[in-house]
Amino acid sequence: MPPARTRVLFVCVENANRSQMAEAFARLHGGDGVEAVSAGSRPSGVINPRAVRFMEEVGYDLTAHASKSLDQIEGEFDAVITMGCGDDCPWVPARRREDWALPDPKHMDDEQYRAVRDEISARVRALLADLARTA
């Protein structure tokens, strides 16, 4: 039987920027050993075109993603990471919970947007390494 994959859920309000990028980085950094999902407490229904463009710069195609609601998410997770959605985030079963409280980059200039993207990448890489150590 193959080893269980680490399940990680990333949550923000619109599921259009931060959580989408985090899901993408978890897939990039975690490979087949990670099942990454993202959702929003009030999803916008679209991925921000700037998120698509800035993830393309690092070799990831976000156009295959969809903005989805937490209502569509099932099961338990090894980690649930919220990104500043506060009280709007319902409880999802998880062994570990963190709030990264990253600023929403949707109104930022390109340089600031890339800085948020790069911070998400670094945090996802650290999270996956820590989850692997504590598995």
Question: What are the residue numbers of the active site?
Answer: 12, 85, 89
Contacts of 41 (CB under 8 A, 6+ apart): 11, 12, 13, 70, 85, 88, 89, 90
Strand ranges for 43-87 from DSSP E: 77-82
State phi, psi for 55 to the nearest 5 degrees: -75, -30
DSSP state letter for 69: B
Q: How far is CA 98 from the centre of its chain?
A: 12
Look-up of token digits 């295959």: 64
